[in-house]
Every structure is written in structure tokens, then in C-alpha cells.
Structure 1
């Protein structure tokens, strides 16, 4: 008599990811806000702050656009996952999933698949805006393309896992929205996303921002889209790519631990 073999954790995660993508694109308001908000900020701030940088062949608008491409994937990962998970739990969807053979790890993988797809779309959209409005140069050097790939993967993974942790500790959708946006906006300011160059910020702010992923994701993307001379405008005077990799990898590990420790299927007992 043959026995039924259930799909593995990863296979279930891919199936869950496909379902997450379909569900996401059915919510038109969420799709519009997720993709339009970062691009709108880029257009508004870039237009107001765009000026030539002394002694350099780049503009502050290009610096801002390159950094905001990085911060855009934080929006599609940390914010959207944190809010989405809180909504799933509040609506009872997670409680129903608990009665299925799908483990929590597959649910996590599904969220990462969703974020990967939406973040790729976000990077493409914001890159097009940057090229058309601020004459941002697209990378062609293989080394820069490789840097873009690993910064993207580490950034998406770390911020998705941290979003899961956020959505797990907040008790409601409204609470998740408030906390996620507060953290996201505050970190963008102190990480030098809205203030260019970052050296214009007080050092204490940048020191605080250096503990979190946003600064390093944006710095990594600036290294991809801007010429080598622009590294002189960073706090350390270089792109610090080994440090970017180290910090983002550490946040991937920390995010996984936090997600596993905080994840819960329902609000019962809270």
C-alpha cells in the first residue's frame, strides 16, 4: 500500500509565494501605494533638492535617486510584510493556515517570494524614474551588477524577516501601519536618504543609523548607480562594501531569530 508523500517545506513555500503574489495584485489600492509612494517621494524631493555637486560630475538629485532605489525595497519588504502579516492574523487567515500541513517556515518563504517579485518591480520602476528625470546612469560593469544582486538579496531577506517580526509583535493592522511607517521614515532621514550628501547629517545620527539595514542598503545601491568619485561623499569616504555585506548578513541572521521567536498564528492570549 503506497503512502502519500507531502511536499517539502521549500516546495510549499513556493506554492504559498505564488498565492501571495496573486493576492497582492488583486488589491489595487495596495499595489498603487506600494509602488507609487517611493517613486513620488523621489520625484518631489529630487526636483526640489536637485543641484550640481561642487567639483563632481553628478547632482544631488542623482545621489538621492540612487539611495531611494535602495529604500524602495525596504518599503516593499519591511513595511508591506509587517502590515500584511498583522492583517492576515487579525482576519484569522493565519489561524486557518495553522490547521494545514504548511509549517511556519513555508509561510516565511512565501513572504520572501512575494517581496522578491515586488521588489524587483520596484527597483525597475524607480530606476526608470531616476534615468528619465535625473539622468541617473544605469550600471553596465559586471562588478557593479554583481554588487546590485547581493545587496538586493541580502536587503530583501533581512527586511522581510524583520517585517515578519514587526507584524508578529503588533496587535493590530493599525498598530503595524503606525510602527512600520514611523521606523521607515525615521530611518530614511537619519540614514541620509533624504539628505544628500550624507555628510550633511550630524555624525551621531549616522552612527545610530549604522546599526540598521537601511543605511547600508542605500549605500550599496549608491555604489552601483554612482561613479567611484561619489564615494568621497560617504561618511567613511569609501563605499565600504565589505561592511555592507557584513551588516546585512548579520541582520538576516538576527531577523530570522526574531521572526522565529515572535511569530504567532493568532491574537489569542494577547
Structure 2
């Protein structure tokens, strides 16, 4: 337990110095949320139920950025610096590093999600009407899946610049084609087809169902299957990645 605490403390210290991760998890989603919220507020002020879809959607962006930029990018940086190779032959257990990274990612998700909710309530005067239990369950599955995406990124990209480039390339489709900022129904038919291949689409829809108390309905089944498959893949690759003899 003491080792777990020390490794988690170290990861949180690294997070406090991670300008890129802090920006993409706590600043960029908050600014986008406030901007699009104000834009909607001036155009459709009478339909405040929009926020019951929009808030969980933007929380989905937090999940993606936390998994990619805080977990995945940090793992790539550590490998590029040779951190894992230096751990070969030491008594440090790889599973402790893996667990500390997961805890760091989950804490970032919780803080980022609370930030979005507070901005919605205090900054945009949005109604906060959610099923807390179902939303927490949906967020646990979605957050776990996207933290595992970080390990998938770390498994296939060995250099910071290549991983960062992929992050920028995937960020905009995740932002605009997942239903997080623009409802899927508002997209042209061609982009609706493209959105089927955007993993965040399924997380956003699951979060929206959890928020509305519709988590245990048939409309959530495919979302859970897709996210579950991503989670399993991430666990397999993460276990392989955090073996010092393969770092």
C-alpha cells in the first residue's frame, strides 16, 4: 500500500508539471464548453434541455483528453526517456506503475468533469438534472475505456512528436463528430457515417443515457459493447507495455 501511495504521489507530481496535459484536460474543454454554451444560449435560450445532452457530451471530451494526453502521452515520454529500461532489474513492480497511471487518469477525469458541471451551473445557469448513480456508472466504463486508449497509444507510438501529432489529428473529429458539441442528428449523412468510426461517439451517447437515467436500456447496449472492447484491448496492450523487459 505504501508503494502504491508513493507511485501515485509521483504521478500526480508529474501531472502538476504537465502543461500539455493540464491544458487539454482542464482548459481547452472548459473554454469550448463555455463558448458553445454561450452560442447556444443566445440562439435557443428557450430550450434549456439542450444542456442535459451538452454537459455529458463535453465530459466525454474530458475523458478522451485525460486518456490520451495525461496517460498515453506521459507513457510515451517516459519510454522515450528510457525510464522503463532503467527499471529493469529493480524491485519496482510494473503493476504499481500501471495502477498509479490509472489512478492519475481517473482523478483527472473526476476533476475535469466537476469543472464542466460547475461551469454549466454557475457560468451558463444550466439546469443540472441527472441520475447520479447511472451517470457515475456510465462514466466509470467510458473513463476506463479511454484511459486504456492511452495505453494503446503508448504501445504503438515510441516518440513524443508522433504521438502528439496523432493527438491533434484525432482531437477535432472527436470534438465535432462524436455528438459532444454538435448533435449527431444535425450532421450531414456522409459525416454521420464517418461518426460511426469515432470511438468517443459511443462514450458520449452512453454518458448522455446515464445522465438521463436511461443507462439500462437497449440504446446503451452497443455503446457498452464498443467501450468494453476498447477496454479489453487496452488492458491487454497495457499489461504488455508495462513489462520492463519489453519497454
Deviation at 1:40, TM superposition (A): 0.8
Q: CA 1:104–1:267 in structure 2 vs 1: closer, same or farther (change >3 Å)? A: closer
Aligned to 1:169: 156
Q: Secondary structure of 2:48's match?
A: coil
User: Aligned-pair RMSD on alpha carbons?
Assistant: 3.1
Deviation at 1:136, TM superposition (A): 2.7
Structure holding more helix per residue: 2
Kindly indicate whether residue 144 of structure 2 is the aligned counterpart of residue 157 of structure 1: yes
Counterparts of residues 1-270 of structure 1 (less than 5 Å): 12-13=3-4, 15-27=6-18, 30-50=21-41, 51-52=43-44, 57-58=47-48, 60=50, 63-139=53-129, 144-195=131-182, 197-225=183-211, 240-261=219-240
Q: Secondary structure of 2:84's match?
A: helix
Structure 2: distance between partners of 1:252 and 1:132: 34
Tell me the number of residue pairs that the alignment of Structure 1 and Structure 2 aligns. 245
Q: What's the CA shift string for 1:223-266, capped at 9, x where partnerless?
A: 344598xxxxxxxxx88223332222222112222334556759
Unmatched segments (≥5 aa) in structure 2 = none
TM-score, scaled relative to structure 2? 0.83
Deviation at 1:163, TM superposition (A): 0.8
Structure 2: distance between partners of 1:205 and 1:47: 25
Aligned partners of 2:135 and 2:211 also within 8 Å: no
Q: Secondary structure of 1:100's match?
A: coil
Unmatched segments (≥5 aa) in structure 1 = 1-6, 229-237
Aligned partners of 1:16 and 1:107 also within 8 Å: yes
